[in-house]
Amino acid sequence: MDPYIAEWLNLILRFLHLITGIAWIGASFYFVWLDNHLQPPPQWKADKGIKGDLWAIHGGGFYEVAKYQLAPEKMPTTLHWFKWEAYTTWLTGFALLIVMYYVGAESYLIDPRIADITQIQAIIIGLSVIFGSWLVYEVMCTTKLADHSIVFALVLFILGAGLAYGLTQVFSARGAYIHMGAVIGTIMAGNVFRGIMPAQRALVAAVEKGETPDPEYGRKAKVRSTFNTYTTLPLLFIMISNHYPITYNHLFSWIILLVIILITAAARHYFILSHFGKQRPMILVGASLATIALAIVIAPKSVESDAVANIKINTVEHIVQQRCVSCHSVTPTDDIFKVAPAGVLLDSQQQIKQWAPRIKARVIDAKDMPLLNKTNMTDMERAQLASWFSSGAIIDAQGKE
């Protein structure tokens, strides 16, 4: 695919994915909040079958919301459904996955240092993991496990740990994270399609027939809704994780991902409890302390050595010209990137000094640049750059040394 066309497809799909994701997650957060804030209704409402109600003010007006125990006596003329937000989020995300990670597999998904596989093999593995994981989850939902939420969650976490590790043994670190997110997102959208919507349609059909709705539909939908609630924040992190190689480019990236999933799920649990007036600040304190501990544990180690002391800017420029300028230039020569990524230009010594903090963060600390080490930067060259940074050679961004 032409790089210019690919860039526009990436931009459009990513923007649509962001918009629809906001709509889906926003609606989900609102209804969870709403459900957890309902108050016992007055008797005249309870006599009509209303389970709880809530008053709110927003946008200069008062709102009265009521939830029925099962369903109203008569189906209203207009009934609003919430499903397309989930479907379009998944569709745009899957399309973005194809454009960026499958069409561009050699750039983002395949890392020969991890597994020397072909583009077709990578695509088959990726799709098999995504839809295979969804099928396993669907089967689990039909077992007795679904009746025991804690055990169900524990089994899912163990399976997820195995999946996270396996993905890092096949794909690039970045590709492994995004496929873990694709698995979670597919299960979440599948919960809407296979569980929540069928339950809602059954509820509507029962009301239209004048029958009493089967509460089992609502119970099963609740299991799937709970999964979606607790995986929302982990999924959001994975969506932005490609901007933070300090996480995915670590030797134990799969463990880091699991820890972040637990931290973000705990944060979500705190807010759910707060909906019921149960303040558990220690949950947030624990999540914050866990985040700090994680940051300390994965902090990059120094790669300096006496053998590369006193490195000068000319040596640094030579390394950058060999390993970085094929992409980060006014006129890139890379076969994929025809415009310098993130606008970072490294054609001159002045530009190298200007972007020195970024170079250190990505080349020395995270080691995710050059991307998939496409230009074969050596450990010695990274050590030379690290020595230059630590020597205090960078005084300002004007090219003075």
pLDDT, one tens digit per residue, over 188-213 is 999 999 888 888 888 888 878 877 77
Cα–Cα distances in Å, from 128 out to 95, 118, 180, 182?
A: 16, 15, 12, 12
How confident is the model at residue 303, as a pLDDT? 55
CB 133 within 8 A of CB 227: no
Those residues whose C-beta lies under 8 Å from the C-beta of residue 120, and which sit 6 or more positions away, are: none
Instruction: Give the CA distances from residue 27 to residues 95, 204, 237, 321, in Å, rounded to whole numbers and listed in that order.
Output: 23, 20, 19, 49
How far apart CA 227 and CA 238 sit, in angstroms, is 16
Tokens of 356: 């020195």
Q: How many angstroms separate the first and last alpha carbons of the chain?
A: 43
Q: Give the CB-side neighbour count of residue 371, counting CA atoms within 13 A.
A: 21
pLDDT at residue number 400: 47
> Strand pairing partners for 234?
none
User: For 360, phi and psi rounded to 5 degrees?
Assistant: -60, -45
In a 3-state reduction of DSSP, which class is residue 78? coil
pLDDT at 302: 62
Q: What is the DSSP letter of 295?
A: H
Segments making up each domain of the chain, as ranges: 3-37+70-297, 306-390
- Cα 56 to its chain centre, rounded Å, is 32
Q: Tell me, what's the pLDDT at 133?
A: 97
Does residue 242 contact residue 285 with C-beta atoms inside 8 Å? no
Predicted pLDDT at 282: 93
Amino acid at 64: E
| pLDDT for 394 | 53
pLDDT value of position 101: 92
Low-confidence ranges of the chain (pLDDT < 70): 1, 302-310, 392-401
| Strand residue runs (E) in 30-142 | 50-58, 61-68
Q: According to the model, what pLDDT value does residue 308 have?
A: 60
Rounded to 5 degrees, what angle do the CA atoms 237, 238, 239 make?
Answer: 90
Q: What's residue 373's pLDDT?
A: 85
Q: Are 188 and 227 in contact (CB under 8 A)?
A: yes
Enumerate residues 6+ apart whose C-beta is below 8 A from 162: none
